[in-house]
Every structure is written in C-alpha cells, then in structure tokens.
Amino acid sequence: MVPFGCAINLDTAVEKNMSEIRKNVFEGKKDDVKVTFMSGEREDPYEYDGVSEKKCDFGIFTVYFNEFVGSLKVPFIATINEQKFEGVLEKHPFNESYMVDIGNVASDDAEIIISINNEPAIVLENISSSWEISWQDALELGKQYLNDELNEIISNGKFNAECYLKPITDEDFISGQYFWAFSVINTKHQRYIVVFDVNSGDLLVKNKTD
C-alpha cells in the first residue's frame, strides 16, 4: 500500500520513465537492399537496468542486403528534408543488418533519401502513417495491457522500472509486417512485454521473463 501523500499517477510515472519511444517508421528498397529509418527519443546512455536516465533524440537507419557484403562498414549519404548526413553503416553484431544512428528525429512528413556504398539513392516513405494505431495510441494500449503489472511496480510512491515502445518486425525485414511492442523492465531485472497489432490493437503476446 502506498503511504498517504505519496501516491503517484501511473500515466505520469510511465511517461517520465520511458527509456525509448520509436515514433515512426520509414521504408525504402531496391532489388538488392532494403532500408528502414526509425526515430524518436531514448535513454543516453542506453542501459537495461530498470532506471530511466536522461534522454536524447535518435534516428536509426537499418540496412539489409540480399547478398553478402563482406565488410564491417559501408559508407552512406542521406538527406532528411535537405539536411545532409554522411558516415558509415556498421554491421550489427548479432544479425546481417547494418545500422547507424544519426542522432536526429524525422517528422512524419519528412522527405528521406539515402545512397549506400555510392549506389543510386533510395527514397523512403513513412509506412507507419498508414497504421490505425499511432505511437500515442500504442502507448495507451500498452499501459492498459500491463495495468496490473505496472501498478505492482510502484513501491513507496516510486515507480521502479523503465519502459520501451517500439515497432518490431522480423529480423531480416523481409515480411513487411510490423507490430507494436511495449515492454517494462523493473529494477529487479524482470521484464514484461506485450505485442499487439498496429491496426486492430489486438493483443498477440503477453509474457514475463526473469
């Protein structure tokens, strides 16, 4: 039981302890490569420890090649609404994708173009804008699906966890199907997650791991 005078608002607690929110998804592809761009806000430094620290903007390009590249780094040049970003994509340590965080968010109506390894540019389109469940709606649904678990996390007027909201898809970005995933990690390193449809909002997965 929370002592008198120490009660906290659950919605406010979750909002203050969001360690990552991915707000939009852009996609583009050619015959031999597929690119996604997601942007939002996340914890810096990024640690799964149940404590949400200061936040920063991020924008992540993820590239998957149909054929073996044979390099750990691939050069890229991108523009977002004519703002130029240039650097290298680095191979993900656990799968075959290449990634880079440009440290910038993109608005839902942004014009995004990327050239990879000096190849012709790829235009990305916002696919999340067509989803029935926006990131704001997804956050509300996530809180509803984990309402009991979130309330149990509150102790002595303190919310002892951090939360994450992400659109997820298959590892190699082949299916083209996305889902919303809302997860909570408490200070005991217990993880709760719900996964639901981006259009209907129907709950597909709910589990807990210790």
* Domain boundary, last residue among 93, 127, 161: 127
d(CA 194, CA 163): 12
* Domain boundary, last residue among 127, 158, 187: 127
What confidence score (pLDDT) does residue 3 get? 39
What is the largest distance, in Å, between two alpha-carbon atoms of the chain? 63
What confidence score (pLDDT) does residue 174 get? 64
Q: Tell me which H or E stretch contains 70.
A: none
Do both 44 and 107 map to the same domain?
A: yes
What percent of the chain has a predicted confidence (pLDDT) above 70?
94
Answer for the pair 181, 194: CB distance below 8 angstroms, yes or no: yes
| Segments forming the whole domain that contains residue 69 | 25-127
What confidence score (pLDDT) does residue 175 get? 67
Average pLDDT over residues 118-145: 97
pTM passes above 0.95: no
Within-domain flag for 64: yes
Do both 120 and 154 map to the same domain?
A: no
pLDDT band of 4, cuts 50, 70, 90: very low
Q: Is the pLDDT of residue 208 over 50?
A: yes
Higher pLDDT, 71 or 183: 183
Answer for the pair 137, 195: CB distance below 8 angstroms, yes or no: no
Within-domain flag for 180: yes
Average pLDDT over the chain, rounded to an integer: 92
Q: Is the pLDDT of residue 104 over 80?
A: yes
Whichever domain contains 168, its CATH number is 3.10.450
The tokens for 136 are 């704001």
Amino acid in the structure at residue 159:
F
Identify the CA nearest to 22 among candidates 181, 140, 204, 160.
Answer: 181
Start-end of H helices in 43-201: 135-145, 147-153
Q: Is the pLDDT of residue 136 over 90?
A: yes
Average pLDDT over residues 174-199: 93
User: Number of structural domains, the chain?
Assistant: 2
